[in-house]
Structure formats: structure tokens, C-alpha cells
Amino acid sequence: MDIALDTFEVRTGGRCEMVDITAEVAGVVGKSGINDGECTVYCKHTTAAITINENADPDVVEDILLTLEKLIPKDLDGYRHIEGNSDSHVKSSLFGCSEQILVKEGVLLLGTWQGIYFCEFDGPRTRQVIVQVIG
Amino acid sequence: MDIALDTFEVRTGGRCEMVDITAEVAGVVGKSGINDGECTVYCKHTTAAITINENADPDVVEDILLTLEKLIPKDLDGYRHIEGNSDSHVKSSLFGCSEQILVKEGVLLLGTWQGIYFCEFDGPRTRQVIVQVIG
Amino acid sequence: MDIALDTFEVRTGGRCEMVDITAEVAGVVGKSGINDGECTVYCKHTTAAITINENADPDVVEDILLTLEKLIPKDLDGYRHIEGNSDSHVKSSLFGCSEQILVKEGVLLLGTWQGIYFCEFDGPRTRQVIVQVIG
């Protein structure tokens, strides 16, 4: 089994933001030289997430963030965590801190409208994303 | 490392629906001849998802769909995406577009009550599911 | 490819609870002797989940559970599943029944504040967690 591991940084600009990192992930896959296998995109933070969603209309990610904000308000009666970002932790677990994408002939097997997003839920911050390709 | 990759179609009949695809996935694992490893079930669409949940009482998936509908209404004040399916995109990221199931002695290591479901959130449509087995 | 597979039990004490299983998972990785690869933590139950979230302030997991309880009440008008735990099934699919963590030099590549949690949504029960390491 061949393994390639790489890390890159994402600088976010707002409290909640979805940043398209598809090109960075594809770059790691290409550099790995691995033709067939699996790519894992992993976020080392507990107030952020990785998700896959539409890459065509930028309104989609805005609507996703709006829905999350309405579902999980910043202040909920009963919150005890002193940092005031319990909502960010909930969003992180709901979307999940990693995604797996299949790799075929050196290319990510994404659907036509799928992009890979780093989801910031407690920014702005500088974040780390790990990408591992096995094959 | 051995790899087997296969694709099959799912034809959905309603706007929101959960279709049990366990038999199709198990078929790909069986055909692969791989005894021990991991199976990834991946959905190439941004208004659909893959999840694992109860396969015994069909009321469970109905209740899951009902809950999602109440949590994330089709029309939310402020939605900008013109296609009118922003709720479907949110549900897709909440459930996630893939699942990993372990494989032992050629069989999916599912729990007694676990089935693999394709989740349609913007149907009816014809959808594609990719299954990859590595071992 | 090397594979190590192990199972351990989690005994939960309440209806909803998040149990830190990081040490147990790290133990399986250590025992496997696999240096570089991927670790999958899998839950065989449909009213429980696996998630990764903050391991420092115990208030965070309490706030997460509180948010889920408010979002998805135990009784929703229209629920049909007779066991009365439809909310538990929904939470299971929202958080997901598995997590993948990368392994480098024999160690789980978790972030500083990340712990791996077994999420009980219909306890108290005795539950099974499967851990597989490939590399």
C-alpha cells in the first residue's frame, strides 16, 4: 500500500464560512502519484468541519450557513461552556471532521457539482487541513 | 492492496425517500473477492446522502424523514438559491455523502439492525452510487 | 496491506451520553503495530454514533447533548415507530456511525483538543465499538 500525507492551511475571514478546498486536495492527490485508492480530508479542529456540497452557485453555501445559524443559535438557554462557542462544536459534529473521496486514474471521483469545503464555525482563524491518499 | 470499484443506479420515487441499498452493496463486496478490508459507499450528488440506520421497522425511516422536514423546512426566510432546494443541500451535508463499512471474511460488518440507505432529498431522480472495496 | 481489527464494549449510564473512547482506540492502534495508515471507529448500533469533539472542557459535550435534545425532541407529532426512540435514530444519522482518523508513526493524528466519543442516544445499554487499522 502506498501512502501520501500532506497538510495545508486555510485562513478564514468570518465567524462562519465555507471555503472551497477542492483544488488543494486535488493537488495533493496529483502529487502523490497514486492512481487508484481513497483520499481522506481531515480537519484537526473541534469548531470546524469538512463537507462536500455544490460548487456551482455560491448561494448554496450561504443558504447552508444561514440554515445552520437558525437551527443552532449562538446562545441557547442552558449552555455552560464558558468560551461561548458551543454552537460551533455542535455544527462540527453535525457535519463531521472528515470526508473520504475515491480516487480513480489519479483523479478525485467527485460528482459534477461536488466541491470539497472547509467549514469554519468559529473564525476568523488560521486552520490546518490534513490530506491522506492511500492506494 | 486490492481494489474493486463498481457503480449502480437508484431510481427514487418521491422528493424525500430513503432506499435500502444494503443488498446492492453486499453484492459488490461479494463480487470483489476481497475478504478483509473496508467498503466505501459514495453518492455523487449534492442533494442526496448515504446513511446507516434501522432496517427492521420501516416506520423508522419515515420518522427520520419527518424530523428532517420539520427541522429544515423547504422554504426558509432568507434563502437565495434560485432552484428552491437549499433544504436538500443542507440535509445532504448533515447526513454526509458517504459511509465506510468494515469487511471481514468477505462480509460487511453491519450490526443486526443496520441497513445502508441512499437518501433522496430532491427527487424523484435517477441517482448514481459508487462502491469501492479495498483490502 | 496490514489490517488489525478489534472490538470493545462501552457501558453507558444514561439515555444520552458522550463517552470518551480515545484511549481505547489509541490502544488498538498501538497494539496493531501499524505505523502509517488509517483507523476506522465503527458503531454497530442505530441509536448511537461516533463523533470527534473537544476533550478539554466537559461542558462542551453537555452543551452538545442539550442542543440535540432541543433540536430533536423525544416526541414529535407524527412519529410512528412504536419503540418511542425515533429521536435516537435521527441523532445517529446526524452524527454518523463511524469516524476515520489518520495514523502516522503509530499515533492517531488527532488535533490538540480532539477526543473520540461514543455517543449514546438511547441508553443505558452495553454497546460494541469496532476499531480497524489499515496500513
Could you tell me the pLDDT band of residue C59, with boundaries at 50, 70 and 90? very high
Question: What SS3 state is found at B94?
Answer: helix
Could you tell me the pLDDT band of residue C48, with boundaries at 50, 70 and 90? very high
The pLDDT score that the predictor gives to residue C109 is 98
Could you tell me the pLDDT band of residue B12, with boundaries at 50, 70 and 90? very high
Mean pLDDT, all residues of chain B? 97
The average pLDDT across C23-43 equals 98
The average pLDDT across B15-30 equals 98
Question: What SS3 state is found at C69?
Answer: helix
User: What residues make up the domain containing C62?
Assistant: 3-134
Question: What SS3 state is found at B47?
Answer: coil
Question: Does A92 touch chain C if contact means CB atoms closer than 8 Å?
Answer: yes
Which chain C residues touch B71 with a CB distance below 8 Å?
Answer: 71-72
Return the percentage of chain C with pLDDT > 70, whole number. Answer: 100
Interface test with B, best of C50, C67, C71, C94 (most B CBs within 10 A): C94
Length of chain C: 135
A51, A71, A102 ranked by CB distance to B71: nearest? A71
- CATH code of the domain containing B109: 2.60.120.460
CA distance C92 to C120: 9
The average pLDDT across B89-118 equals 98
Q: Phi and psi for C35 in degrees, rounded to 5?
A: -90, -45
- pTM (whole model) above 0.80: yes
Which residue intervals of A1-135 are DSSP H helices?
Answer: 22-32, 59-71, 86-95
The pLDDT score that the predictor gives to residue C119 is 98
The pLDDT score that the predictor gives to residue B13 is 97
The pLDDT score that the predictor gives to residue A47 is 98
Interface test with A, best of C43, C62, C100, C104 (most A CBs within 10 A): C100
Contact A112, A65 (CB under 8 A): no
The pLDDT score that the predictor gives to residue B35 is 97
Question: What SS3 state is found at B96?
Answer: coil
Question: Does B36 touch chain C if contact means CB atoms closer than 8 Å?
Answer: yes
Interface TM-score (ipTM) > 0.90 = yes
Question: Does B90 touch chain A if contact means CB atoms closer than 8 Å?
Answer: yes
Task: Tell which A residues from 41 to 70 touch B, by Cβ distance under 8 Å.
Answer: 51-54, 57, 59-60, 62-64, 66-68, 70
SS3 of chain A: helix, strand, coil, percent, to 5: 25, 40, 35
pLDDT in tens, A78-133: 999 989 999 999 999 999 999 999 999 999 999 999 999 999 999 999 999 999 99
Complete edge-to-edge strand list for the sheet that includes strand C98-104: C3-11, C126-134, C37-43, C98-104, C107-108
The pLDDT score that the predictor gives to residue C134 is 98
CB contact under 8 A, C54 and A89: yes
Please give the residue of chain B at the shortest CA–CA distance from A53.
B46
CB burial of B54-84 (b: ≥16 within 10 Å; e: otherwise) equals bbebebbbbbbbbbbbebbeeeeeebebeee
Q: How many domains does chain C have?
A: 1
